[in-house]
Amino acid sequence: MQKRRTKAEKAADDKRLKDAKATKEEATKQGIERLALMEMEAEAKASDAKASKPKPHPRPQKWLKKVVDGIDKEQTVSLSISAELMR
C-alpha cells in the first residue's frame, strides 16, 4: 500500500523529477555537442596531415647500354621495332 501524499507533496516530487530529467537531457546534449566537436577537430587534423604530407620525387635513373655479344640492347630493340613496322 502506498503512502498518501498531499497535493503540495506530489507537486514537489513532480517538480524534482522534472528538474532531474531536464538536467540529464542537458548533460546528454552537451556530451553530444562535445563529441561532434572532437570529430570535427579529428577530421581537420587528418585533412591537414594529408595536405602537408611531402610527396616523393622520382629518383633519376642511370641508363646504361648493355652490350650482349657485341650488340647494343637498345639497338636490337630499335631494329626489332622497325622490322615490325615494315611488315
Residues 73, 65: contact at Cβ < 8 Å? Answer: yes
User: In angstroms, how far apart are the furthest CA atoms of the chain?
Assistant: 115
Q: How many CB atoms lie within 10 A of CB 77?
A: 10
- The three-state secondary structure class of 60 is coil
> Cell digits for 51?
595536405
Residues 13, 5: contact at Cβ < 8 Å? Answer: yes
- The three-state secondary structure class of 72 is strand
For residue 76, what pLDDT is reported?
46
The predicted model gives 47-62 an average pLDDT of 75
The 10s digit of each residue's pLDDT in 56-83 is 788 777 766 665 565 555 544 444 555 5
Strand partners, 42: none
**Residue 21 in this model has a pLDDT that exceeds 70:** yes
pTM for the whole structure? 0.46
